[in-house]
């Protein structure tokens, strides 16, 4: 089920740790609402009661789990998010802005952990019922900068954020490869810019996409 078959608009924000996704998703939501649009902001892993529980398990630094166990937890959180939040909001014609979605699984578990990308893509299709974003904003910053930002904000340990720099470098390179494969969906924004410049660029991309969609319908 491509999101374009539903009346709403499905936009995701992706990128490595500390890239500025949450900051951008919040400010973009506010600007779009001020312009009179109905926007639901959500996030993964989380967004539902089950997703919130799974989030605390998958990020718990005191738990050990295999890379596939980790993957199943993200996929289970995604399946409930799609069914309970995304499909109803898109069916109601809302703009849905999700802080992370299925590209994160390909980047972290595929490029980062080294799991098979084709298998992950097929599991993503099953967990999402085939729901793909209309538009993805990828915040691209060097892993060192993202980790420094994330660690300056919080010293709380987390099982994935605490992985080494090489892991985060592979994740970021993976996101760039996904963007290169699907340039019609994924727009790369330089996350090194200050937050206001990132927002300006994102707003321009989103408004252009929304206007284009209205013209096409």
Contacts with ligand Z5A in 20-79 (CB under 6 A)? 20-23, 44-45, 74
- Considering CB under 6 A, how many residues would be counted as binding ligand Z5A? 26
Contacts with ligand Z5A in 127-166 (CB under 6 A)? 149-150, 153, 158, 160-161
Minimal distance, residue 55 CB to ligand Z5A, in Å = 7
Residue 104 in the binding site for ligand Z5A (CB under 6 A): yes
Residue 198 in the binding site for ligand Z5A (CB under 6 A): yes
Nearer to ligand Z5A, 56 or 91 (CB): 56
Contacts with ligand Z5A in 170-189 (CB under 6 A)? none
Residue 17 in the binding site for ligand Z5A (CB under 6 A): yes
CB 106 within 8 A of CB 180: no
Q: Which residues bind ligand Z5A (CB under 6 A)?
A: 15, 17-23, 44-45, 74, 99-100, 104-105, 108-109, 149-150, 153, 158, 160-161, 194-195, 198
């Amino acid at each position: 089920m491509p999101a374009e078959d539903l009346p709403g608009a499905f936009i995701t924000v992706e990128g490595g740790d500390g890239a500025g996704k949450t900051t951008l998703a919040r400010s973009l939501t506010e600007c779009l609402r001020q312009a009179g649009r109905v926007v639901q902001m959500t996030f993964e892993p989380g967004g539902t009661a089950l997703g919130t529980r799974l989030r605390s398990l998958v990020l718990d630094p005191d738990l050990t789990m295999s890379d596939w166990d980790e993957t199943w937890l993200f996929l289970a959180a995604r399946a409930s998010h799609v069914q309970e939040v995304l499909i109803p909001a898109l069916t109601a014609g809302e703009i849905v802005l999700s802080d992370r979605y299925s590209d994160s699984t390909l980047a972290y578990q595929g490029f980062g952990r080294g799991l098979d990308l084709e298998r992950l893509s097929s599991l993503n299709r099953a967990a999402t019922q085939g729901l793909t974003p209309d538009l993805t904003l990828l915040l691209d910053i060097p892993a060192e900068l993202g980790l420094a930002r994330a660690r300056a904000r919080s010293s709380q340990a987390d099982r994935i954020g605490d992985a080494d720099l090489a892991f985060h470098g592979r994740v970021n390179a993976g996101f760039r490869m996904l963007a290169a494969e699907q340039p019609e969906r994924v727009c790369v924004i330089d996350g090194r810019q200050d937050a206001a410049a990132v927002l300006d660029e994102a707003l321009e991309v989103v408004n252009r996409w929304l206007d284009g969609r209205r013209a096409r319908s």
